Amino acid sequence: MCGIAGIIHKKAGKGVNIGQQMTSMLQALKHRGPDSTGYAMYGKDNGNQILRFKVAEAADLEGSYDIHATIKDRLETVNSRLTELGVKVVKKESPTEYAHRYEVEFSGDMKKVADFVEDVEGVEILSIGNSLELVKDLGDASVVSNQYGLNDFNGTHGIGHTRMATESDVDIRSAHPYWAYPFSDVAVVHNGQLTNYWTNRRSLERSGHRFSSNCDSELIAVYLADRMSQGDDLETAMKGSIDYLDGVFTYLVATKDQLGMAKDVMAAKPMVVYEGEDMIALASEEVAIRTLFDHRIDTFDPYHGEVKVWQN
């Protein structure tokens, strides 16, 4: 079933508490997906790149063998490879033993960095961006938010997802959001099922794109990355996705300064939108949006096959 939510502030100034707002919305959607929760939030760009990656799955820590030594070795290898490429790490944070956040200085090709780091067995890049912070883990929004310290995250916009696993594993790899590799600051969340996933995945892989999971939702992120690499802007790429994707879907995509929504031609998956003068909020259910207000608001449902993009 899954639940998705998004918010964008048009006049955020120095930022608002996006972390608290997203947590409130996603917790209200917990009943739609209790397996995992994910955030893609956009904060201040100070010129550096934010690298989010994991060196193991949360469930690996419950195994019978010594995963702790393996995790340490993987992290040391990542650090060594970053140094080899000339990447300067200016700040390190480790919310968990397996999930890490690096702020780095690097003027070269970040795709090369991502490929070299991900070549380490068991390591997965979750996101790269100047302002994007992509966090996902097992549990509901309150658990993940507390675990990663997201309750005080200031920013301009974000998207999030609560997942009920149906056709892929309950793990971080299969959780949303998905980073639109190799594009900086692009992330996607999706509610629905894509029936042409494997056919289109093989086609995109032959074109040189990579997939990190077997979740059909990742196809959307990779497709958008492919179209933008060929010169499409976000809205054009999203409009193309309506015909490209087969199945039922509603998805949200965020970039450094935009939030977009697309709905399939059957409009089978729900989406409710609040559009105010300074803020737009979207969610699978109105109850999530109403957590942000203490007064009456008006909402609407997008049309079938509709694409909308907002800018901050």
- Domains annotated for the chain, with CATH where assigned, are 3-43+137-311 (3.60.20.10), 46-129 (3.30.70.1110)
Beta bridge partners of 273: 282, 300
> For residue 273, how far is the Cα from the chain centroid?
20
Largest CA distance in the chain: 56
Residue of 1, 2, 55, 227 marked active site: 2
- Residue 65's pLDDT is what? 67
CB under 8 A, 24+ apart: contacts of 79-82: 81/116, 81/117, 81/119, 81/120, 82/113, 82/117
Rama region for 15: left / alpha / beta (φ>0; ψ in -120 to 50; rest): left
- Residue 168's pLDDT is what? 64
pLDDT digit of tens for each residue in the chain (312 aa)? Answer: 789 999 999 887 778 999 999 999 999 999 998 889 999 999 988 899 999 999 999 888 886 568 899 999 999 999 999 999 999 999 999 999 999 999 999 999 998 999 999 999 999 999 999 999 999 999 999 999 999 999 999 999 999 999 877 666 778 988 999 998 888 899 999 999 999 999 999 999 998 888 888 889 899 999 998 999 899 999 999 999 999 999 999 999 999 999 999 999 987 889 999 999 999 999 999 999 999 998 999 999 999 999 999 998
Helix and strand totals (H; E) in the chain: 8, 17
Contact (CB, 8 A) for 189 and 26: no
- Residue 64's pLDDT is what? 56
**How far apart are the C-alpha atoms of 109 and 233, rounded to whole Å?**
21
Q: Does 215 qualify as catalytic in the annotation?
A: no
